[in-house]
Amino acid sequence: MQHKTQLTLSFLLSQVLLLACAEDLECTPGFQQKVFYIEQPFEFTEDQPILNLVFDDCKGNNRLNFEVSNPDFKVEHDGSLVALKNVSEAGRALFVHARSEHAEDMAEILIVGANEKHGALKEIFKIEGNLGIPRQKRAILATPILIPENQRSPFPRSVGKVIRSEGTEGAKFRLSGKGVDQDPKGIFRINEISGDVSVTRSLDREAIANYELEVEVTDLSGKVIDGPVRLDISVIDQNDNRPMFKEGPYVGHVMEGSPTGTTVMRMTAFDADDASTDNALLRYNILKQTPTKPSPNMFYIDPEKGDIVTVVSPVLLDRETMETPKYELVIEAKDMGGHDVGLTGTATATIVIDDKNDHPPEFTKKEFQATVKEGVTGVIVNLTVGDRDDPATGAWRAVYTIINGNPGQSFEIHTNPQTNEGMLSVVKPLDYEISAFHTLLIKVENEDPLIPDIAYGPSSTATVQITVEDVNEGPVFHPNPMTVTKQENIPIGSVVLTVNATDPDTLQHQTIRYSVYKDPASWLEINPTNGTVATTAILDRESPHVQNNIYTALFLAIDSGNPPATGTGTLHITLEDVNDNIPSLYPTLAKVCDDAKDLRVVVLGASDKDLHPNTDPFKFELSKQSGPEKLWRINKLNNTHAQVVLLQNLKKANYNIPISVTDSGKPPLTNNTELKLQVCSCKKSRMDCSASDALHISMTLILLSLFSLF
């Protein structure tokens, strides 16, 4: 019943087309019917005829050959379309390409689902919808044209025909659109009288897959009398593009010991042909594996998905036993579903076998020896280990730990990043007299943890025997530095202290002699035998060699070894102050105008090198003034300053004013000095003291003159 329905629909469609083309009784090369309509069955049965196609090249159909877009179907020599196997889903359309010595053409077979069945006849008579024939309200019939890409010469080549059911004398067909009068121009043209559509050159579906043109009918004057009507031209794909791998380089990683079937990576190729046809249906295959050991078939690729998976047992996927941890696979992608006629493309996949920490580090020997001189620091021995894992990973890099024999933290161990060796160092000087031998127990591990079924064994620990060599060490002062407090100005020859130095080399029974090493002021001497330090000069707290009341000297203690060894001791003497410095007065020169209204001449200050209480408060006094009148007085301002005041204006001259200043020490010290006072003439803001230099009057001269009168 179903087959009968299909034949009925095909018959009705053929009648419609015959009516439309009734005016053209000449033989037209190609399919006599270009569009067919069939209903989707539950299943196309193998070798069961579906419909009959009629192709006529008008010259006997020599060497006629049919090609079907779906490889599950074929067309017999008599034009019968049959399925090569039972097919339940064939898509929405089949395209049949026919070629003989003299002509070629394309037919379209449209497949409608069951739910479209009831409206099928109505759609046929409307010549629209899924039939592939545009709905025609006018007299122009423009059925879709299907053209295979990559056609060979000669050109132009007829590819279809536009029919007008109403004949009008002088009417002409006119074709327009992209591919005619729009870029790319000149691909298609139409015979303005017969309506034959031709293509002028080979087409490329990957460049343009569809053309939408318009057909109009004009009169002799060019006026449109019918149309426009849409004319669809579809380019049928040919297998003219090889698969290409565009996303390289392709590098995958898989952990050693991975289970069989572990996915490593996915290879995906691209085919520019029509993805709905076998022209772009790709299948993948491994052409070559390098190296071929331990198995020539280490990997498998899913032919449809392109997934590369491991196919060997985890035991063979052992990085440490492989010739190289890197494999290169030449992958082939073939279109046409992998059939022999398909085009191919290749790419190289690099697969790296990643290391996991399945080998613990092991010392190259159980015991290492080292010798170090006492008092010396630095690396004393390099501990060597072996590890079969990848040197570029934490599964190879070693971490060393001293687990016994280092209570004083005198030793440290670090990893050499280049060699992976353990560099054992002395960080605190060793003492032969305390211990001449040391034994260390050291373990080695990796930065990365071992895998669960692997553990560190006895070979991951080692012993280091260290021998300390005796060295003649210099004597040591006790204490160091040494401190003592003394008054300055103590008598020469006074004992400061007796130093004490001992020789660390207790087993050698050596003698010690002392000497002065640094004595900046040359104030001290030391007894070479018993170490008594005495003064050779007066100690002066105010000396520039004393800093913050402390004088520093260095002494040597030299043993009798061969060669002798030397130790250095530091002595700090804190000097107590004594009132041994008189105060000083400043300034010692003052100037005043002879007509000055302000008779406060100058403010005097006093200073003292000693320390409190041997300094201020200072006492300022004038020596006795003789004569009928007193000329000046001194007023105390504070503990360190006083002011000299004239009692009257003086004539222009130089005067020496005797002043005494006394500190507060016990006993106090006094400094008698003179203040030179210049009385100058002042006019127009200028001070002239030149004439005063010729006259020198002092209280001393005045007293001498008075005595000479008696």
CA pair distance 219, 215, nearest whole angstrom: 14
Which is more confident, 451 or 18?
451
Q: Mind spelling out the 3-state secondary structure of 145-199?
A: EEEECCCCCCCCEEEEECEECCCCCCCEEEEEEECCCECCCCCEEECCCCCEEEE
Instruction: Render pLDDT for 169-189 as a digit per residue (tens, 0 to 9).
Output: 788 999 999 999 999 999 999
Residue 120 pLDDT greater than 50, yes or no: no
Cβ atoms within 10 Å, residue 77: 9
pLDDT of residue 691: 55
Range 202-229 average pLDDT: 91
Residue 10 confidence class, pLDDT cut points 50, 70, 90: very low
pLDDT of residue 695: 42
Environment class of 303 (CB within 10 Å of its CB; exposed 0-12, middle 13-18, buried 19+): middle
Residue 281 pLDDT greater than 60, yes or no: yes
pLDDT of residue 626: 60
Beta bridge mates, 290: 328
CA pair distance 434, 427, nearest whole angstrom: 17
CA pair distance 440, 39, nearest whole angstrom: 91
Task: Supply φ then ψ for residue 229, to 5 degrees.
Answer: -125, 140
Instruction: Render pLDDT for 122-163 as a digit per residue (tens, 0 to 9).
Output: 443 333 333 343 333 456 888 888 888 888 889 999 888 888
Polymer length in residues for the chain: 710
**Residues 559, 475 contacting (CB under 8 angstroms):** yes
SS3 call for 16:
helix
Cβ atoms within 10 Å, residue 321: 12
CA pair distance 53, 32, nearest whole angstrom: 8
The distance of Cα 629 from the centroid of its chain, to the nearest Å, equals 96
Give the closest residue to 594 by CA, choosing from 688, 696, 695, 700. 688
Task: Supply φ then ψ for residue 95, to 5 degrees.
Answer: -120, 135
> What is the helix (H) or strand (E) element at residue 680, kind and residue range?
strand 670-683
Residue 38 confidence class, pLDDT cut points 50, 70, 90: confident
DSSP string computed for 202-231: ---TTT--EEEEEEEEE-TTS-EEEEEEEE
Percent of the chain with pLDDT over 90: 55
**Residues 434, 407 contacting (CB under 8 angstroms):** no
Give the closest residue to 229 by CA, choosing from 242, 251, 247, 212. 212
Environment class of 287 (CB within 10 Å of its CB; exposed 0-12, middle 13-18, buried 19+): exposed
pLDDT of residue 136: 38
Which is more confident, 703 or 429?
429
pLDDT of residue 276: 86
Which whole-number Å values give the CA distances from 636 to 136, 540, 640, in the listed order? Answer: 132, 32, 9
Which whole-number Å values give the CA distances from 555 to 163, 282, 312, in the listed order? Answer: 128, 95, 81
Which is more confident, 253 or 8?
253
CA pair distance 242, 335, nearest whole angstrom: 8
**Residues 179, 187 contacting (CB under 8 angstroms):** yes
Give the closest residue to 424 by CA, choosing from 434, 440, 410, 412. 412
Residue 165 pLDDT greater than 80, yes or no: no
Q: Mind spelling out the 3-state secondary structure of 297-327?
A: CCEEECCCCCEEEECCCCCCCCHHHCCCCEE
> What is the helix (H) or strand (E) element at residue 580, kind and residue range?
none
Residue 692 pLDDT greater than 60, yes or no: no
pLDDT of residue 70: 77
Residue 409 pLDDT greater than 50, yes or no: yes
Residue 441 confidence class, pLDDT cut points 50, 70, 90: very high
**Residues 256, 355 contacting (CB under 8 angstroms):** yes
**Residues 533, 484 contacting (CB under 8 angstroms):** no
**Residues 446, 399 contacting (CB under 8 angstroms):** yes
**Residues 623, 644 contacting (CB under 8 angstroms):** no
CA pair distance 231, 185, nearest whole angstrom: 16
Of the candidate ranges 67-76, 337-346, 511-520, the one whose mean pLDDT is the lowest: 67-76
Residue 453 confidence class, pLDDT cut points 50, 70, 90: confident
Residue 506's identity, in one-letter code, is T
Residue 34 confidence class, pLDDT cut points 50, 70, 90: confident
Which whole-number Å values give the CA distances from 574 to 485, 545, 571, in the listed order? Answer: 5, 12, 10
Of the candidate ranges 13-22, 167-176, 186-195, the one whose mean pLDDT is the lowest: 13-22
CA pair distance 374, 379, nearest whole angstrom: 13
Average pLDDT score over the chain: 86
SS3 call for 129:
helix
CA pair distance 486, 366, nearest whole angstrom: 63
Residue 392 confidence class, pLDDT cut points 50, 70, 90: confident
CA pair distance 348, 351, nearest whole angstrom: 10
**Residues 202, 150 contacting (CB under 8 angstroms):** yes
> What is the helix (H) or strand (E) element at residue 2, kind and residue range?
helix 2-20
Work out the widest C-alpha separation in the chain, in whole angstroms: 180
CA pair distance 318, 294, nearest whole angstrom: 10
pLDDT of residue 221: 86
Residue 166 confidence class, pLDDT cut points 50, 70, 90: low
Instruction: Render pLDDT for 603-624 as a digit per residue (tens, 0 to 9).
Output: 999 998 888 898 889 999 987 7
Residue 114 confidence class, pLDDT cut points 50, 70, 90: low
CA pair distance 186, 149, nearest whole angstrom: 16
pLDDT of residue 122: 41
Instruction: Verify cis geometry, omega within 30 degrees of 0, for the bond prior to 294.
Output: yes
């069945």: which residue's tokens? 117
SS3 call for 267:
coil
- Torsion of Cα atoms, 435 then 441 then 446 then 448, to 10°: -100
User: What would the two tokens of residue 258 be?
Assistant: 């991975």
Range 583-590 average pLDDT: 92
Q: Mind spelling out the 3-state secondary structure of 609-665?
A: CCCCCCCCCCEEEECCCCCCCCCEEEEECCCCEEEEEECCCCCCEEEEEEEEEECCC
- CA atoms within a 13 Å half-sphere pointing along the CA-CB vector of 320: 14
pLDDT of residue 510: 87
